[in-house]
A and B are shown apart, each in its own frame.
Chain A
Amino acid sequence: MGSQALTDLSSAPVPPRGPGDHVRGEGEELIVYVDLGCPRCAAAWERITALPARIVFRHFPVAGKHPRSPTLHAAAEAAGEQGSFFEMVDSLFADRGRVDDPHLWRRAEQLGLDLDRFEAERRSQAIADRVRADFESGIRAGVSGTPAVFREGQKVSLETLSG
Chain B
Amino acid sequence: MIEAGEPAPDFTLANHKGEQVSLADLRGRKTMLVFYPGDFSPTCTDQLSIYQEVLSEINEAGVQLLGVSVDSSWTHNAFRKKLGLDIPLLADFHPKGKMSAAYGAYLEDWGTTNRSLVLIDEEGMVRWVYECPTPLEIPGANLIFDAVGKSSAD
Q: Which A residues contact B (CB, under 8 angstroms)?
A: 4, 6-12, 62-65, 67, 135-136, 139-145
- In the complex, chain B residues 45-71 whose Cβ is within 8 Å of any chain A Cβ: 45-50, 52-54, 57, 60-61
Which residues of chain B are near A139, meaning CB under 8 Å? 50, 53-54, 140-142
- A-B contacts, 21 of them at CB < 8 A, read A6-B57, A9-B57, A9-B141, A9-B145, A10-B142, A11-B146, A62-B46, A62-B49, A63-B52, A64-B49, A64-B83, A65-B46, A139-B50, A139-B140, A142-B140, A142-B142, A143-B140, A144-B47, A144-B50, A144-B140, A145-B138
| CB proximity of A6 to chain B, nearest CB, Å | 6
Given known contacts A135-B53, A144-B47, is B84 in contact with A63 (CB within 8 Å)? yes
Do A65 and B45 have beta carbons less than 8 Å apart? yes
Which residues of chain A are near B142, meaning CB under 8 Å? 9-12, 139-142
Do B50 and A10 have beta carbons less than 8 Å apart? no
Is chain B's interface secondary structure helix, strand, loop, or mixed overall?
Answer: helix
Once the chains are docked, how many angstroms separate the CA of A11 from the CA of B143?
7
- In the complex, chain B residues 127-154 whose Cβ is within 8 Å of any chain A Cβ: 138-143, 145-146, 149
Do B57 and A144 have beta carbons less than 8 Å apart? no
Once the chains are docked, how many angstroms separate the CA of A145 from the CA of B42?
10
Do A64 and B57 have beta carbons less than 8 Å apart? no
Once the chains are docked, how many angstroms separate the CA of A64 from the CA of B57?
17
Of the four ranges (under 10, 10 to 19, 20 to 34, 35 or more), the interface on chain B belongs to 20 to 34
Once the chains are docked, how many angstroms separate the CA of A6 from the CA of B85?
22
| CB proximity of B108 to chain A, nearest CB, Å | 26
Once the chains are docked, how many angstroms separate the CA of A145 from the CA of B137?
10
Which residues of chain B are near A62, meaning CB under 8 Å? 46, 49-50, 53
Once the chains are docked, how many angstroms separate the CA of A145 from the CA of B140?
9
Which residues of chain B are near A145, meaning CB under 8 Å? 46, 50, 138
Which residues of chain B are near A9, meaning CB under 8 Å? 54, 57, 141-142, 145
Which residues of chain B are near A65, meaning CB under 8 Å? 45-46, 49, 83
Which residues of chain A are near B138, meaning CB under 8 Å? 144-145
